[in-house]
Amino acid sequence: MIFRRISVVVGAAGLLALPATAAQAAPAAQGTSAAPGSPAAQGTQAASAVRVAQVASEQDVSFLQAVHQDNLAEVGAGRIAWTSTADPNVKRVAAALMRDHIRLDADLYSVARRLRVSLPDTPTREQEALANRYRLAPANTFDEYFISTQLAGHRADLRLIAAQIETGTDRSVVQLAAKARTVIEHHRQLLRDAAEARGMAGYLGTGGRNG
């Protein structure tokens, strides 16, 4: 339910703020026409150029949609972990996932709305399947399973983010990717700390492994 709740709440706020300028301008445009080269015509051309500039590339659209689904999935994963673990380090990870991905998704929704990018209502099937495995995991294996799968997911997230920063088209989407990288790197460090505290293989000593 939390997946849909976040999407609906943020979506409702966004829909209320959508500009109505296109609908309002249509009747006026039918009744008047500006002479070529006039200030009005130049203003119309400039406005058209702005609208064209705000069309997102295919890569930007894919990135926004993928990160939105990841945000939904991570909020859900954090909620499951919060209620499933007694480990204070895993609790800290869970709290960070819920808090930071809700905030990150609010920023993402603002960018997507400006670029007219539609966002999915739910995580991917793979993400939902992982959430179900978290729910079914026995208490004595949950923590290490959660940590290891989250570390793997964060590695994949950082690869996606790096590609967007390097080759993304829209500046606001690239800036969002840079912000997301900071968040994901922080979460990865929390996960590494939790792994080391539990004595998980490969995470003992300073620095841990490249997880």
State the average pLDDT for the chain: 82
Is position 4 within any domain? no
Q: Note whether residue 186 is domain-resident.
A: yes
Report whether 87 contacts 145 (CB < 8 A).
no
Q: What is the pLDDT of residue 6?
A: 52
Instruction: Classify residue 194: in a domain, yes or no.
Output: yes
In-domain check, residue 80: yes
Tokens found for residue 65: 């949609």
Does 9 fall in a domain? no
User: Which segment, 18-32, 45-59, 134-148, is predicted with the most confidence on average?
Assistant: 134-148
Look at the chain and report how many structural domains it folds into.
1
Neighbouring C-beta atoms of residue 32, cutoff 10 Å: 8
pLDDT at position 47 is 46
Flag whether 7 is in a domain.
no
Containing 2, the helix (H) or strand (E) segment is helix 2-17
Rounded-to-integer distance, Cα 76 and Cα 56, Å: 28
The three-class DSSP label of residue 101 is helix
Question: For residue 41, is it within any domain?
Answer: no
Contact 100, 189 (CB under 8 A): no
- Does the pLDDT of residue 9 top 60, yes or no? no
Does residue 190 fall inside a structural domain?
A: yes
Buried b (16+ CB within 10 A) or exposed e, 48-83: eeeeeeeebeeebbebbbebbbbbbbbbbbbbbbee
Reply yes or no on whether the pLDDT at 8 is more than 70.
Answer: no
pLDDT above 90 covers what percent of the chain?
68
User: What range does the domain containing 176 cover?
Assistant: 70-115+129-198
Higher per-residue confidence, 94 vs 43: 94
Low-confidence winner among 5-9, 136-140, 153-157 (lowest mean pLDDT): 5-9
Split at pLDDT 50, 70, 90, the class of 36 is low
